[in-house]
Amino acid sequence: MDLDTVRTFLAAADAGQFQEAAAELAVTQQAVSKRIAALERDLGVRLFTRTARGAELTIDGQAFLPHARELLRVAERAAASVRTGHRPLRVDVIASRVAPSGLLRGFHRAHPEIDLDVVMLFDIETAVAAIRSGEIDASFRAVAMPGRPLPEDIAAVRVLDEPHQLLTGPAHA
């Protein structure tokens, strides 16, 4: 689904007139009509009823309206997530069900104003490369590897000791 077409649908829905939507979008009224027609073809429904006063949403148009708004919000968040200087804090965790994930959930609850993207990278080498390149800001993982110290430009701080239990079956020696 083309985002410009969705944007055009929203402009027309908000304005109630294709001509006013065209002026807002700086395109011709014919371009608005073509975009709306293309969207209606793609969806297989009529979104507007054309009237002498302009255009009114059909029931299908009313049903599509909140989803169209959400599509544009999600698209904007996606674009913002990679814009220089505006992307969320990106933190790597080794799995979603380990203690560091709980720490991040607590951090997000305590600081909801800070956008947070949690990613799960496969191994330490990938995480170190992502930190060096600026793709991520931090990584929660065990880094103790005999004979393989972390690079000098990467800092590591112990933040959590997670208890582990050994489970065995009843017949295990």
Ordered DSSP codes for 62-105: HHHHHHHHHHHHHHHHHHHTTSTTTPPEEEEES-TTSHHHHHHH
- Gap between the Cα atoms of 60 and 42, Å rounded: 13
Tokens at 107, concatenated: 């951090």
Task: Provide mean pLDDT across the span 137-164.
Answer: 77
Among the listed residues 4, 3, 21, the one whose alpha carbon sits nearest the alpha carbon of residue 12: 21
Q: Which domains does the chain have, with CATH numbers?
A: 3-80 (1.10.10.10), 85-163 (3.40.190.10)
φ, ψ at 105 (rounded to 5°): -60, -45
Q: What is the pTM assigned to this prediction?
A: 0.53
Tokens at 3, concatenated: 């985002």
Higher pLDDT, 88 or 36: 36
Task: Provide mean pLDDT across the span 29-36.
Answer: 94
pLDDT the model gives residue 162: 73
Q: How many residues does the chain have?
A: 173
- Gap between the Cα atoms of 109 and 103, Å rounded: 10
Task: Provide mean pLDDT across the span 100-111.
Answer: 81
56: helix, strand or coil: strand
Residue 79 has pLDDT above 70, yes or no: yes
Residue 164 has pLDDT above 80, yes or no: no
Task: Provide mean pLDDT across the span 77-96.
Answer: 76
Tokens at 134, concatenated: 């600026």
What is the tens place of the pLDDT at every residue in 107-145? 878 988 888 888 888 788 888 888 888 888 888 887 766
**pLDDT class of 65 with cuts at 50, 70, 90:** very high
pLDDT the model gives residue 111: 86
The chain-wide mean pLDDT, for the chain, equals 86
pLDDT the model gives residue 101: 73
168: helix, strand or coil: coil
DSSP state of 149: P
